[in-house]
Chains A and B, each alone.
Chain A
Amino acid sequence: DAGVIQSPRHEVTEMGQEVTLRCKPISGHNSLFWYRQTMMRGLELLIYFNNNVPIDDSGMPEDRFSAKMPNASFSTLKIQPSEPRDSAVYFCASSLAGVRGFGPGTRLTVL
């Protein structure tokens, strides 16, 4: 079985550009989570979905961040416009009944 798939694995962009991170959860999982990892703040939960519906987005740092889950097999996290302080590793995770998997992460660098 494939695990959580994230793309791209690495993204380098310039300040002000739009960035879209993608996630394909494990088939059959009904919850999806986006995390951000930085040296300063550790692992932060940004937003999570259940059955494609956003449940809690209180962790989204600013209005520049948005996330969607148009169907059970795909989610995006978008940053527009991006800023250097958004540089981090972004992880996607999915779960079903306590069984969860993490993606390999997308390392974002905003210059």
Chain B
Amino acid sequence: GDSVTQMEGPVTLSEEAFLTINCTYTATGYPSLFWYVQYPGEGLQLLLKATKADDKGSNKGFEATYRKETTSFHLEKGSVQVSDSAVYFCALSDSGGYNKLIFGAGTRLAVHP
């Protein structure tokens, strides 16, 4: 079945460092891809999405490009802030019509001043 694999955390960075969180997927059909963020004690918020190959999703300085040839959707940010500390989930939405989301395991990011 469809699945998402993302790099294990925690990822620890200093403020203003470059961030990459790797995500690869396995899916039949043409899924949409998402990154969600979960801040401590809160629910999930959509960070960005891409619905077809070569689309780039971006928001709040984060970006990710839908790469069909490598089945990847890596999350990047050029300069992280302490406020970016959270758990990041990569997810895909199957093309089966019900828009169910399948999540990766999540990657915890800790940014230190």
Contact = CB atoms under 8 A, between A and B. Distances in A.
A111 interface: no
Contact of B43 (A45, A95, A105): A105
Given A43-B89, A98-B32, A33 B101 contact: yes
Contact of A33 (B43, B100, B105): B100
Given A42-B104, A42-B106, A43-B106, A100 B42 contact: no
B8 to A, nearest CB: 11
17 contacts: A31-B98, A31-B100, A35-B103, A42-B104, A42-B105, A43-B89, A43-B106, A45-B101, A50-B98, A55-B98, A95-B99, A97-B99, A98-B32, A98-B51, A98-B93, A102-B44, A105-B43
Given A31-B99, A102-B44, 6 more contacts: A33-B100, A42-B103, A45-B101, A97-B99, A102-B36, A105-B43
Interface size class of B (residues with CB under 8 A): 10 to 19
A103 B43 contact: yes
Interface residues of A, number: 20
B101 A93 contact: yes
B102 interface: yes
Contacts of B98: 31, 48, 50, 55
B43 A100 contact: no
